[in-house]
């Protein structure tokens, strides 16, 4: 990337942080056309710019050939408003979803008798390591499986500590699979929810995560009808994508502070979706029961994104009739108030829940402070997700 392009990308970053999304997009387009960036004029940062954000998205391919001279000439005059090829993204900072610094190293990860083991899985899209929690009750029986997708800068140990999922899995007899994003795929270890290539069933990160899930199901003889996926922030956005790409594998989805499947396809649309909301794929592409948690004071991923996840999932899952919706207000003693919306299908089954947590920011509700990115003031998202998952069974095994 030459100095002119680097300057243009930095200016686009500044404009985005200031909330000037249209100007940022225009700057990106001018930069990619080879037009010089104007000297930036210092402006005060707005409220959104002060939010904790998850580092910088830096997209890096697992491999690939060097571009030819012909390809390079084509890239200097892109057909589309924004080209997401890696050579154009190096060093460009995308506001993301950074957790607060962890107070101390994760502890108490493994309940008595349980096992927390390492593994890895690879296919044509690359390789990812993972950790797998196996409860003490496992003796080869067909137990459920929960896939847990961490947020940016996190890792399986951190996410397990913050959500306390291993402890609840021990009590409720299920296995928990924690994939680890590779810094080679994203320097801040964010799942690449904003890339078109990572929103496809048979390619990119969805194929890796689904393949890893299937391998664990087969190896341990788990119940193929009770497989679930949940995630936080960028992990929540990727969980939504898996619900869209693999409805035959995951019986339900849990999305905490995330975005709808397909909410963005490149960096400018990712900027806009995080700050204003992104509608995502059409309703025919999403038919999986879903539970959503989002803080109404989240200044990193706008709370409207939670509403858009529900709108997407509701439209896709209720083609046979309009759902019945009931709302309930609650209060965690000494913690947050919340509004819980429950969606019931024409057959009387609960297929959607939306928890709007009043006064909460961008953090896992009810989590432990032994992990990053948590809000112990509740409600308990881990417990409620497992309750919701227990009510959902896949109609036919994959």
Q: Which residues of 323-361 are buried (b: 16+ CB within 10 A; e: fewer)?
A: beeeeeeeebeebbbbebbbbebeeeebbbbbbbbeebb
Instruction: Report how far residue 59's alpha carbon sits from residue 192's, in angstroms, rounded to the nearest whole number.
Output: 8
Q: Which residues of 198-224 are buried (b: 16+ CB within 10 A; e: fewer)?
A: bbebebbbbbbbbbbbbebbeebebbb
Task: Give the pLDDT band (50/70/90) at residue 118.
Answer: very high
Asked if residues 317 and 309 have their Cβ atoms less than 8 Å apart, the reply is: no
Mean per-residue pLDDT over the chain, rounded: 82
pLDDT for res 21: 60
Report the range of poorest mean pLDDT among 3-7, 286-290, 372-376. 3-7
Asked if residues 155 and 189 have their Cβ atoms less than 8 Å apart, the reply is: yes
CB within 8 Å of 376: residues ≥ 6 apart:
335, 366, 367, 368, 369
Q: Left (φ > 0), alpha (ψ -120 to 50) or beta: where does 38 sit? A: beta
Most confident of 34-48, 66-80, 105-119, 331-345: 331-345
Q: Per-residue pLDDT for 267 more than 90?
A: no
Q: Per-residue pLDDT for 237 more than 70?
A: yes
In degrees and rounded to multiples of 5, residue 36 shows phi and psi of -70, 145
pLDDT for res 107: 66
Report the range of poorest mean pLDDT among 106-115, 248-257, 300-309. 106-115
Strand partners, 253: 229, 290
Q: Quick one: which of 143, 225, 141, 137 has its CA closest to 177?
A: 143
The string of pLDDT tens digits covering residues 46-80 is: 333 333 334 333 444 444 333 333 333 333 322 22
State the average pLDDT over residues 143-156: 98
In degrees and rounded to multiples of 5, residue 26 shows phi and psi of -65, -40
Domains within the chain, CATH numbers bracketed: 3-89 (no CATH), 115-390 (3.40.50.1820)
Asked if residues 280 and 241 have their Cβ atoms less than 8 Å apart, the reply is: no
State the average pLDDT over residues 187-191: 94
State the average pLDDT over residues 233-252: 97
Q: Per-residue pLDDT for 156 more than 60?
A: yes
Instruction: Report how far residue 66's alpha carbon sits from residue 141's, in angstroms, rounded to the nearest whole number.
Output: 49
Give the torsion sign (CA, 370, 375, 377, 381): negative
State the average pLDDT over residues 177-183: 98
pLDDT for res 43: 32
pLDDT for res 322: 81
Q: Biggest alpha carbon distance in the chain?
A: 66
Q: Quick one: which of 3, 233, 214 has its CA closest to 95?
A: 233
The residue written with tokens 């397909």 in the block is 262
Instruction: Report how far residue 314's alpha carbon sits from residue 283's, in angstroms, rounded to the nearest whole number.
Output: 8
Instruction: Report how far residue 290's alpha carbon sits from residue 250's, in angstroms, rounded to the nearest whole number.
Output: 11
State the average pLDDT over residues 288-297: 97
- 257/20: higher pLDDT: 257
């Amino acid at each position: 990337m030459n100095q002119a392009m680097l300057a243009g990308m930095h200016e686009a970053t500044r404009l985005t942080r200031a909330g000037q999304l249209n100007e940022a997009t225009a700057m990106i387009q001018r930069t990619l056309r080879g037009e010089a960036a104007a000297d930036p004029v210092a402006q005060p940062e707005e409220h959104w710019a002060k939010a904790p954000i998850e580092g910088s998205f830096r997209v890096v391919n697992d491999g690939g050939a060097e571009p030819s001279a012909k390809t390079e000439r084509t890239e200097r005059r892109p057909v589309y408003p924004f080209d997401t090829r890696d050579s154009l993204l190096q060093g460009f900072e995308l506001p993301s979803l950074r957790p607060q610094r962890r107070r101390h190293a994760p502890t108490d990860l493994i309940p008595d008798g349980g096992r927390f083991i390492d593994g890895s899985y690879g296919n044509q899209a690359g390789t990812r390591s993972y950790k797998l929690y196996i409860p003490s009750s496992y003796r080869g029986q067909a137990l459920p499986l929960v896939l847990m997708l961490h947020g940016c800068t996190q890792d399986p140990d951190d996410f397990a500590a913050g959500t306390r999922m291993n402890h609840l899995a021990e009590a409720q007899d299920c296995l928990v699979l924690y994939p680890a994003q590779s810094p080679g795929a994203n320097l801040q270890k964010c799942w690449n929810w904003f890339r078109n290539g990572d929103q496809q069933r048979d390619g990119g990160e969805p194929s890796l995560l689904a393949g890893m899930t299937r391998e664990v199901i087969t190896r341990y003889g788990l119940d193929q009808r009770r497989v679930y996926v949940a995630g936080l922030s960028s992990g929540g956005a990727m969980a939504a994508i898996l619900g869209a790409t693999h409805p035959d594998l995951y019986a339900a989805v849990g999305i905490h502070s995330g975005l709808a499947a397909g909410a963005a396809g490149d960096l400018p649309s990712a900027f806009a979706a995080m700050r204003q909301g992104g509608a995502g794929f059409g309703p025919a592409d999403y038919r999986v029961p879903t539970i959503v948690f989002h803080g109404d004071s989240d200044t990193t991923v706008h709370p409207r994104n939670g509403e858009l996840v529900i709108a997407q999932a509701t439209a896709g899952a209720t083609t046979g009739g309009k759902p019945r919706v009931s709302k309930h207000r609650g209060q965690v003693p000494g913690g947050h108030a919340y509004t819980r919306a429950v969606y019931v299908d024409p057959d009387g089954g609960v297929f959607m829940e939306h928890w709007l947590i009043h006064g909460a920011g961008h953090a896992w509700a009810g989590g432990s402070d032994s992990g990053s990115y948590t809000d112990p003031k509740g409600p308990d998202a881990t417990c409620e997700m497992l309750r919701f998952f227990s009510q959902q069974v896949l109609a036919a095994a994959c």
